[in-house]
Amino acid sequence: MHHIRLDSDTDFDGWRKAARGLVLADVVPADVTWTVAGDEPELFDGPGLAPGAGAFAEAQASFTDSASTQSASTQSTFSHSPSSQPASLSDDTPSPSPTQTFNVPARFVELAKTAILHRDPQRFAYLYQLLWRLRTNPELMQVATDPDVARLQAMAKAIRRDEHKMHAFVRFREIGREPKSRYVAWFEPEHHIVELAAPFFARRFADMEWSILTPDICAHWDGHAVAFTPGVAKSMAPSDDRLEETWRTYYASIFNPARLKTKAMQAEMPKKYWRNLPEAALIKPLIEEAERKTSAMVAAEATAPKKPQRQEQPMTKTTKHGAETLAHLREEAKDCRACDLWKPATQTVFGEGPQHATVMLVGEQPGDKEDLAGKPFVGPAGQMLDRALAEAGIDRAKTYVTNAVKHFKFVPRGKIRLHQKPNTPEIKACRQWYERELATIKPQLVVAMGATAAQSVLGKITPINKNRGHLLNQADGTQVLVTVHPSYLLRLPDEDAKALEYKRFVDDLKIVAAHLNKAHAA
Amino acid sequence: MDVQRKLAILADAAKYDASCASSGTEKRDSRDGKGLGSTAPGMGICHSYAPDGRCISLLKVLLTNACNYDCLYCVNRASSNVPRARFTVDEVVQLTLDFYRRNYIEGLFLSSGIIRSADYTMEQVVEVARRLREEHHFRGYIHLKTIPEADDALIAKAGRYADRLSINIEVPEENSLAKLAPEKDVRAIRRTMGRLRLRLDEASEAKAEARKQPSRARPPRFAPAGQSTQMIVGADSATDQTILDTSANLYGSYNLKRVYYSAFSPIPDSSRALPLQAPPLVREHRLYQADWLMRFYGFGAQEIIDPSVGMLSLEMDPKLAWALRHRERFPLDVNRASREDLLRVPGFGRKAVDRIIDTRRHSAIRSADLAKLHIPRNKALPFIVLPDHRPPTSLLDGARLAERFRPKAQQLGFGF
């Protein structure tokens, strides 16, 4: 039998050193008992000596965590560190055989550091039991259904929950008044978590002097470092705070009596915490009152409404002067319901550009970004267009840029929206806006980019490749150039094809530029 | 009026907003000794729970409950006879700091009735956040309600100080909003959500850029915890299918962190145009479950609800109901099935699926292991195959399977 006595309830380093020695000396878990200094050993057999027991020789032990199943990044700090303070070990710690080595998965170290804070006196033994088994089965940590793993994981979960609840339910009480005040809290954690939970308060309340008093151990912050002192009695903590009545007012007012769900409350805020929560005294009366209040609320006749207390003028939007007709058109299009595309979209994306532009560029429909911004061609396709226009020598600011369909058609897929091609009825429904834009702007030349634009501009399905490269004369005197949509260039997977198609697109735009120059010269 | 009385009125006025999350923001602390507060990385902290089961994480108040708008479902509507109050900017700032220092809260959730104009209201709300951040170096969590029509510059400012911004879509259907909240405009709400999303995208792109070139100045901050919204359930006749479609659309369009569902709740001095009775709270619960299925379990908005009904079952959770309608996909061999399929098994949570995939590489899952994986046996067993378990074909094909999951008839009386 080996009796290991650890320095404290949270003495992970001591446990690690002892466990390392025990494993290397082949001591089976059944032959080890664990106690904490100060606790009376109970239920344990008398001391027994393992063969080879003697002074703890740590130098040769190679107890590293380069577990075979773990990637390098998950290796932990559970490595042998000769500089660390030797743990207080009883004399019967066996000395390891100098040649043996074994690996520990980093996941075990994480688990052990947490589970060791559990109040269960058997925790050291449970951990050693798992460590013992890991020696021959390093993949055990991944078997969530293994009883030893499952038990320790449940214990670690209880620790994390207790820590979280301590972060949540500590209530500071002020002693003195700002700026010379101190804040003191009384808390009763379920497990040995004060040292684990204290850094959180240091990060959060760095500019306060605070103490958290508990029966086991107390944490103090002086603005520079966290210090720990032994546990105290509750009477050492202040019993009231000037803000608590206000806090209770808040608690009572934020509660909605029409939806009583006390089980949900208690699942998250178990009764054991109530005695240290200033607001908890209200729980019982609030519940009792709730039913009465709600039925009174429902039973009450709706009272005659007061006169609405509108003081100021209703909020109106100012409309910009100038370019009146186009502005009117745009305003009217905002509420377009000619097809169903408006509903899932954010807004109508109307055309943009000078009222008397000589060139009108028509695309298919707004995309994701255009829908959000309310402006045409501002997304990736817009950037492609900008680049090509610049290369062809056309100033976008002098053109009118619009789309054949003015709402974004899409299907939502999780966090993104997948573009959908508009169908013929939608193109037809939206054509009125194109026609009115055309009539208002009267451009000399219309560039239809992509099949949808070509269909809308030319009034019939028009293949791009057969018709691109030259101007098409329309009955109304405008000339139309058909080309690809810039998003087509974005979708081409092959870099060479992309470069070639981009060049063809720029060449098409150069026809526009030439036409403009001619018109300008004339 | 003293601050405590104002708090009673303005917290009461704010409680119908379900959102109280303090999660998902950037990591901050006050170890430099200059300020107060920190944010919890990952999950937020609920400092208390009210008997309505809701978490109390933030000081959730209105700046004022005076309002120009007359939204029928709202306790603060212009025509309501509730007492009115207005905090000064200083009062909210001081209350936030006082509560925070005592560890009552994670931070502030500030909203307001619309007074004077959208911009004026927004300006006041933003000023509280500015003072907390700039004058008191407050590093805790701030959630600001965004007023839809507010000016772009104010929105940019709000995003600089706040962790999260939100605009409530209010009701799932546009025409019912027109009836219930005549001054509100869904289109303006959506446009502003779009504006927020553009700024959020911009900030995250700038952040990624800055990570690549650390020498460059830090990009402007914009609401690192993103945006959220709330939908009131049961104040109009919208079906659950409509609600889920709207949610899917909002998640996809505006990259919302959360859509909150708030069962319409009877309010003091309510309008005659509203239903007097609240919808069952379980409907709200089922909607949250369905929302989770969409976001974390790979379900599409169109497949969760039985199309012939249009509503989620109140009796059983939506995944179970789905599985009962798709029995041809079961039973599933737990030791072989894909992750996607496992996520569709009733009773299998995301964590359980992760553990199954880890575990089964080393050791086959047997029926005794379900408890260790925190999987409810009765719910899962009819749908799965294990080395020591295979549900009888008659069970999966039989009509009685659904009966097993219906809650037992309860004696009438009060839950005690």
Distance from CA of A445 to the nearest CA of B (A): 33
Chain B residues near residue A167 by CB distance under 8 angstroms: 40, 45
A220: which strand partners? Answer: A211, A227
Do B49 and A265 count as a contact with CB atoms less than 8 A apart?
yes
Q: Which of A167, A204, A413 sits opposite B30 (nearest CB)?
A: A204
> Residue A240 has what pLDDT?
94
Verify that A14 and A89 share a domain, yes or no.
Answer: yes
> Residue B276 has what pLDDT?
65
Verify that A271 and A342 share a domain, yes or no.
Answer: no
Angstrom distance (rounded) from CA B171 to CA B182: 12
B312 contact partners, CB below 8 Å, separation of at least 6? B240, B283, B286, B287, B289, B290, B304, B305, B318, B321
Angstrom distance (rounded) from CA A148 to CA A145: 9
| Mean pLDDT along residues B69-77 | 89
Angstrom distance (rounded) from CA A39 to CA A45: 16
Angstrom distance (rounded) from CA B252 to CA A416: 5
Q: What is the token pair recorded at A350?
A: 């109307």
CATH number of the domain encompassing residue A467: 3.40.470.10
Verify that A125 and A192 share a domain, yes or no.
Answer: no
User: Is residue A61 within 8 Å of A20, Cβ to Cβ?
Assistant: yes
Verify that A441 and A501 share a domain, yes or no.
Answer: yes
Q: Touching check for A167 and chain B: CB below 8 Å?
A: yes
Chain A residue with the nearest C-alpha to that of B371: A145
Cα distances from A201 to residues A92, A196, A213, in angstroms, run 40, 11, 13
> Residue B408 has what pLDDT?
67
Do B45 and A307 count as a contact with CB atoms less than 8 A apart?
no
> Residue B399 has what pLDDT?
79
> Residue B178 has what pLDDT?
87
User: Does the pLDDT of residue A436 top 50, yes or no?
Assistant: yes
User: Is residue A108 within 8 Å of A141, Cβ to Cβ?
Assistant: yes
User: Would you call the peptide bond into A376 cis, given omega within 30 degrees of 0 as the criterion?
Assistant: no
* Domain final residue, candidates A162, A178, A213: A162
Verify that A408 and A353 share a domain, yes or no.
Answer: yes
Q: Touching check for A163 and chain B: CB below 8 Å?
A: no
Do A205 and B372 count as a contact with CB atoms less than 8 A apart?
no
Q: What is the token pair recorded at A425?
A: 């009825």
User: Does the pLDDT of residue A293 top 90, yes or no?
Assistant: no
User: Is residue A345 within 8 Å of A371, Cβ to Cβ?
Assistant: yes
- pLDDT: which is higher, B397 or B229: B229
Do B248 and A412 count as a contact with CB atoms less than 8 A apart?
yes
**Which has the minimum average pLDDT: A502-506, A516-520, B379-383?**
A516-520
Chain A residues near residue B30 by CB distance under 8 angstroms: 203-207
Q: Which 3 state secondary structure label does DSSP give B25?
A: coil
* Domain final residue, candidates A162, A182, A216: A162
Q: Which of A139, A251, A417 sits opposite B48 (nearest CB)?
A: A251
Instruction: Residue A149: count other Cβ atoms within 10 Å of its Cβ.
Output: 22
- pLDDT digit string (tens) for B180-203? 898 899 999 999 999 999 999 999
Do A373 and B369 count as a contact with CB atoms less than 8 A apart?
no
| Mean pLDDT along residues B54-80 | 93
User: Is residue A187 within 8 Å of A179, Cβ to Cβ?
Assistant: no
Verify that A223 and A275 share a domain, yes or no.
Answer: no
User: Does the pLDDT of residue A152 top 60, yes or no?
Assistant: yes
Which residue bears the tokens 């834009």? A437
Q: What is the token pair recorded at A461?
A: 């399905």
Angstrom distance (rounded) from CA B158 to CA B165: 8
B43: which strand partners? Answer: none
> Residue B402 has what pLDDT?
85
Do B266 and A413 count as a contact with CB atoms less than 8 A apart?
no
- How, if at all, do strands A416-419 and A359-363 pair? unpaired
Verify that A362 and A478 share a domain, yes or no.
Answer: yes
Residue A143 belongs to domain spanning = 2-162
Q: What is the DSSP string of A238-255?
A: ----TTHHHHHHHHHHH-
User: Is residue B73 within 8 Å of B274, Cβ to Cβ?
Assistant: yes
Q: What is the DSSP string of A137-182?
A: -GGGGG-TTSHHHHHHHHHHHHHHHHHHHHHHH--EEEES-TTS-E
Chain B residues near residue A312 by CB distance under 8 angstroms: 68, 116-117
* Reported confidence tier of residue A79, pLDDT bands at 50, 70, 90: very low
Domain presence at residue A220: yes
Instruction: Residue A54: count other Cβ atoms within 10 Å of its Cβ.
Output: 12
Chain B residue with the nearest C-alpha to that of A283: B51
State which H helix or E strand residue A217 sits in: strand A217-221
The count of domains in chain A is 4
Domain presence at residue A127: yes
> Residue A476 has what pLDDT?
84
What Rg do the C-alpha atoms of chain A give, in angstroms?
A: 38
Instruction: Residue B135: count other Cβ atoms within 10 Å of its Cβ.
Output: 9
- pLDDT digit string (tens) for B23-38? 888 999 998 888 999 9
* Reported confidence tier of residue A67, pLDDT bands at 50, 70, 90: very low
- pLDDT digit string (tens) for B298-314? 999 999 999 999 999 99
Distance from CA of B11 to the nearest CA of A (A): 5
- pLDDT: which is higher, A184 or B149: A184
Verify that A121 and A256 share a domain, yes or no.
Answer: no
> Residue A320 has what pLDDT?
45
Distance from CA of B170 to the nearest CA of A (A): 16
- pLDDT digit string (tens) for B212-247? 887 767 778 899 999 999 999 988 889 999 999 999
* Reported confidence tier of residue B397, pLDDT bands at 50, 70, 90: confident
Verify that A353 and A481 share a domain, yes or no.
Answer: yes
Instruction: Provide, rounded to the nearest whole percent, the portion of chain B with pLDDT above 70.
Output: 96
Q: Which 3 state secondary structure label does DSSP give B223?
A: coil
Instruction: Tell which A residues from 319 to 378 touch B, by Cβ distance under 8 Å.
Output: 334, 343-344, 346-347, 369, 371-374
Cα distances from B221 to residues A187, A512, B21, B41, in angstroms, run 37, 43, 20, 17
Verify that A335 and A384 share a domain, yes or no.
Answer: yes
**Given phi > 0 = left and psi -120 to 50 = alpha, else beta, which region is B234?**
left
Chain B residue with the nearest C-alpha to that of A268: B49
* Reported confidence tier of residue A46, pLDDT bands at 50, 70, 90: very low
Angstrom distance (rounded) from CA A401 to CA A403: 7
Q: What is the token pair recorded at B221?
A: 């901050």
| Mean pLDDT along residues A227-255 | 96
Chain B residue with the nearest C-alpha to that of A262: B51
Angstrom distance (rounded) from CA A52 to CA A21: 12
Q: Which of B4, B29, B255 sits opposite A415 (nearest CB)?
A: B255
User: Does the pLDDT of residue A76 top 90, yes or no?
Assistant: no
> Residue A176 has what pLDDT?
87
Q: Touching check for A273 and chain B: CB below 8 Å?
A: no
User: Does the pLDDT of residue B411 top 80, yes or no?
Assistant: no
User: Is residue A329 within 8 Å of A436, Cβ to Cβ?
Assistant: yes
| Average pLDDT of chain A, as a whole number | 86
Do B249 and A150 count as a contact with CB atoms less than 8 A apart?
no
Instruction: Tell which A residues from 36 to 55 touch B, by Cβ distance under 8 Å.
Output: none
Return the number of CB contacts < 8 Å for A and B. 256
Phi first, then psi, for residue A412 (nearest 5°) are: -75, 135
| Mean pLDDT along residues A9-37 | 94
Distance from CA of B219 to the nearest CA of A (A): 21
How large is the ipTM? 0.93
**Which has the minimum average pLDDT: A91-95, A263-267, A337-341, A401-405?**
A91-95
> Residue A324 has what pLDDT?
57
User: Does the pLDDT of residue A218 top 70, yes or no?
Assistant: yes
> Residue B49 has what pLDDT?
97
> Residue B416 has what pLDDT?
42
Angle A12-24/A106-115 helices, nearest 10 degrees?
A: 130
Domain presence at residue A369: yes
Verify that A337 and A391 share a domain, yes or no.
Answer: yes
* Reported confidence tier of residue A251, pLDDT bands at 50, 70, 90: very high
B61: which strand partners? Answer: B110
Domain presence at residue A300: no
DSSP-derived secondary structure letter, A84? S
> Residue A521 has what pLDDT?
76
Domain presence at residue A501: yes
Do A306 and B79 count as a contact with CB atoms less than 8 A apart?
yes
**Which stretches of A89-138 are assigned E, i.e. beta strand?**
101-103
Instruction: Tell which A residues from 223 to 262 touch B, by Cβ distance under 8 Å.
Output: 223, 241, 243, 245-247, 249-262
Chain A residue with the nearest C-alpha to that of B151: A317
Domain presence at residue A303: no
Which long-range contacts link A329-336 to residues 24+ away (Cβ below 8 Å)?
Answer: A329/A433, A329/A436, A329/A437, A329/A440, A333/A406, A333/A433, A334/B187, A336/A406, A336/A407, A336/A430, A336/A433
**Given phi > 0 = left and psi -120 to 50 = alpha, else beta, which region is A342?**
alpha
H helices present in A255-377, as ranges: 262-268, 283-299, 324-333, 368-373
**Which has the minimum average pLDDT: A56-70, A213-227, A271-285, A354-368?**
A56-70
Q: Which of B30, B271, B358 sits opposite A203 (nearest CB)?
A: B30
What is the CA angle B89-B95-B101, rounded to 5? Answer: 135
A219: which strand partners? Answer: A212, A228
> Residue A305 has what pLDDT?
58
Instruction: Residue A483: count other Cβ atoms within 10 Å of its Cβ.
Output: 27
Q: Which of B48, B66, B372 sits opposite A269 (nearest CB)?
A: B48
User: Does the pLDDT of residue A189 top 80, yes or no?
Assistant: yes
Cα distances from A197 to residues A117, A170, A219, in angstroms, run 11, 11, 10
* Domain final residue, candidates A162, A183, A209: A162
| Mean pLDDT along residues B36-42 | 85
> Residue B34 has what pLDDT?
86
Verify that A348 and A286 share a domain, yes or no.
Answer: no
User: Does the pLDDT of residue B293 top 90, yes or no?
Assistant: yes
User: Does the pLDDT of residue A55 top 80, yes or no?
Assistant: no
State which H helix or E strand residue B379 sits in: helix B377-380
b vs e for A61-73, b when ≥16 Cβ sit within 10 Å of the residue's Cβ?
A: bbbebebeebeee
Q: Which of B47, B98, B358 sits opposite A142 (nearest CB)?
A: B358
User: Does the pLDDT of residue A292 top 50, yes or no?
Assistant: yes
> Residue B137 has what pLDDT?
96
Distance from CA of B226 to the nearest CA of A (A): 13
Q: Which of A74-83, A90-99, A244-253 has the highest mean pLDDT?
A: A244-253
Q: Touching check for A188 and chain B: CB below 8 Å?
A: no
User: Is residue A114 within 8 Å of A158, Cβ to Cβ?
Assistant: no
Domain presence at residue A311: no
Angstrom distance (rounded) from CA B64 to CA B112: 5
User: Does the pLDDT of residue A69 top 50, yes or no?
Assistant: no
Domain presence at residue A46: yes
